[in-house]
């Protein structure tokens, strides 16, 4: 299954960048092209369970995700149900002198028909996820 890491530099303060990336409540408003639907199921402290429709390139995934945040340093997404059950995304935010470095580790897992198509699309999934990150970065820098 696709496993990859991405690194980005954002020209914005770490607190601002973290708030944009970890604000799953507004994903549908901020980047509807990637998240056409987001429904919060449960929130307890820094842990939330969220039902999400995620467009990753040409693939539409319906997932149940557990978001765990350690503000302003870490945002992790554990996919606990749906098309990509078992996937894990880790976003680490490092304050730089003039901006923020984001380190992203992605481990995608797919079941059923997605498993077969996922085997041949590592580079595509990496590029597609990179587009999502770039859209978040545009928002953070404006």
Read out DSSP for the chain? --EEEEEEEESS-HHHHHHHHH-GGGHHHH-TTT-SEEEEEEEETTEEEEEEEEEETTEEEEEEEEEEEETTTEEEEEEEEETTTT-EEEEEEEEETTEEEEEEEEE----HHHHHHHTT-HHHHHHHHHHHHHHHHHHHH-
Structural domain including 73 reads 3-141
Domain count, the chain: 1
For the residues 3-11, what does the mean pLDDT come to? 97
pLDDT class of 57 with cuts at 50, 70, 90: confident
**pLDDT confidence of residue 119:** 46
**What would the pLDDT profile of 24-36 be if each residue is shown by its tens digit?**
999 999 999 999 9
**What would the pLDDT profile of 78-133 be if each residue is shown by its tens digit?**
999 999 999 999 999 999 999 999 999 999 998 765 554 544 455 588 999 999 99
pTM (two decimals) = 0.91
We report the CATH number of the domain holding residue 7 as 3.30.530.20
């Amino acid at each position: 299954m696709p496993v990859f890491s991405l690194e980005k530099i954002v020209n914005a303060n770490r607190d601002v960048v973290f708030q944009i990336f970890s604000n799953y409540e507004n994903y549908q408003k901020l980047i509807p092209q990637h998240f056409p639907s987001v429904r919060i199921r449960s929130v307890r402290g820094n842990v939330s369970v969220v039902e999400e429709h995620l467009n990753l390139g040409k693939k539409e995934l319906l997932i149940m995700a557990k978001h765990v945040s350690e503000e302003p340093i870490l945002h992790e997404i554990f996919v606990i149900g749906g098309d990509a059950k078992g996937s894990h995304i880790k976003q680490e935010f490092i304050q730089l002198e003039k901006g923020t470095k984001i380190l992203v580790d992605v481990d995608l897992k797919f079941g059923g028909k997605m498993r077969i198509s996922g085997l041949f699309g590592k580079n595509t999934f990496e590029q597609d996820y990179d587009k999502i990150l770039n859209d978040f970065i545009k928002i953070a820098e404006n």
